[in-house]
Amino acid sequence: MKAMVLAAGVGSRLRPLTDEKPKALVEVAGTPMLEIVIKRLMAADVDEIIVNVFHFPDQIADFLKGRKNFGIRIELSRETELLDTGGGLKKAADFFNDGKPLLVHNVDVFSGVDLKKLYSHHLKSRSLATVSVRSRKSGRLFIFDKSGKLCGWESKNEGKVEWANAPVPGAERLAFDGIHVLSPDIFPRLIESGVFSITKAYLRLAGRGETISAFRGDEFLWRDIGGLGKLEEIRRYAQEHGLPA
């Protein structure tokens, strides 16, 4: 199975830690986040990974070389400008040439989401993409209809709601975990170019009748290291409970 780790961001909210290192190498319980994510992907039967890089890319390359790529195939997708989630994924499309669904995981997510269960859910739903989501406070929310299909997007920060088509009564707003499974069929459907968000592409595709499904991850541990305060919370959690299996 193949996967992509999104690790290109500069981690501005983690400064000064990220003034001299990429956020992918910020440590929790003495372990870089990139290693935590890679090992969780490997435990879910992933044996080929591509990592997009931009901020201190050579540090990430040296880290992986020092770990001998954890004994699997790991490649880097170097970005000369930040391409956002969709642009970064599209740039790496040639890596996913086996015709099988792929896992995508943000490097700044500390999670116990069952990746095998997510992948299985995707296969059963036959969706173009399946996103792990949960009920939690967030400034940005996916909106799903009662059957669990994406039908809208809300940005509370901008005070804006976008619908794939018409507004859907009784729709549920859920926050994205930064973990998803994509069918390789999505790549020829990504008509966007350059810098773009995959969430915006998902909304456009949903409006064209493609199925973007929700996987409820509420039962599983989830944190993000989006800022220094959150990072310290995660470090305290890991000290008490260990790293997610």
Q: Is 97 left (phi over 0), alpha (psi -120 to 50) or beta?
A: alpha
Q: Would you list the domain boundaries of the chain?
A: 2-241
What are the pLDDT digits (tens) for 198-241? 999 999 999 999 999 999 999 999 999 989 999 999 999 999 99
Q: Is 175 exposed, middle or buried (0-12, 13-18, 19+ CB in 10 A)?
A: middle
Contact (Cβ atoms closer than 8 angstroms) between residue 25 and residue 57: no
Average pLDDT, the chain: 96
| Separation between Cα atoms, residue 34 and residue 27, nearest integer Å | 9
Q: Which of 132, 126, 10, 4 is nearest to 59 (CA)?
A: 10
Q: How far, in Å, CA of 100 to CA of 103, rounded?
A: 10
pLDDT confidence of 193, banded at 50, 70, 90? very high
Q: Which helix (H) or strand (E) holds 53?
A: strand 48-53
Q: What is the CATH number of domain 2-241?
A: 3.90.550.10
Do the Cβ atoms of 12 and 82 come closer than 8 Å?
no
The pTM of this model reads: 0.94
